[in-house]
Chain A
């Protein structure tokens, strides 16, 4: 399973765009990139998933370069409620075997 590396923490202010980058140099051909969000004392929640190029939903965008060795989660115009831990996962979505969450990126949004 591809190992991921993310920044431990990031700070931002309300209304700014936040980009969190995840490095996954050993990503395999069948692997997808998935991001989860976790608020304190709650279970993680699925945000977005992609394989290549760009994916956008109502919450975020995911940018994946051609070599797929990294990906960037983009949160437009963050608010205080976006303060959370964000996890990048890489794995074959055909199965769930031994998914590794890692320590994630703690995002703090200030007024």
Chain B
């Protein structure tokens, strides 16, 4: 089954404790992206990657890191999480050049930073 998976789905942590949220897709997509969603602010893009070893900042990259060493994986790293990074995070992927440019989203990771 074609899908985007994220782990963990739920995470409660404390300020300053480094964490990684994993994202993996099995559709051989070139494009992958991370979004955060907060009440009243909609979905905001954090980082995106157009292919392996190619990453770029989205609209809210501060406090986050990403890497794209393999085509299927795009982990989101919070080196020193802070309470303002409490949010619902979504990973997405898409096939560059596909007719519709459709993005496929993961199930989300709800992060709470105390």
Interface of A toward B, CB cutoff 8 Å: 32, 34, 36, 41-46, 49, 87, 91, 93-104
Q: Are B50 and A46 in contact (CB under 8 A)?
A: no
Q: B104 contacts which chain A residues (CB < 8 A)?
A: 46
Q: Are B50 and A96 in contact (CB under 8 A)?
A: yes
Give the contacts of B39-91 with A (CB-CB under 8 A).
Answer: 40-45, 48, 50, 56, 58-59, 88, 90
CB distance from A40 to the nearest CB of B (A): 10
CA distance A93 to B88 in the complex (A): 26
Given known A-B contacts A43-B92, A98-B59, A99-B45, A93 and B100 have beta carbons under 8 A apart: yes
CB distance from A103 to the nearest CB of B (A): 4
CB distance from B34 to the nearest CB of A (A): 12
Q: List 13 A-B contacts (CB under 8 A).
A: A41-B108, A41-B110, A42-B107, A43-B108, A44-B90, A45-B105, A46-B103, A94-B101, A95-B96, A96-B33, A98-B56, A101-B45, A102-B42
Report the contact-size class of chain B (Cβ under 8 Å from the partner). 20 to 34
Q: Are B42 and A97 in contact (CB under 8 A)?
A: no
Q: Are A43 and B105 in contact (CB under 8 A)?
A: yes
Q: Are B35 and A93 in contact (CB under 8 A)?
A: no
CA distance A100 to B94 in the complex (A): 15
Q: Are B48 and A49 in contact (CB under 8 A)?
A: no
Q: Are B96 and A96 in contact (CB under 8 A)?
A: yes
CA distance A46 to B100 in the complex (A): 9
Q: A95 contacts which chain B residues (CB < 8 A)?
A: 50, 96
Q: Are A97 and B50 in contact (CB under 8 A)?
A: yes
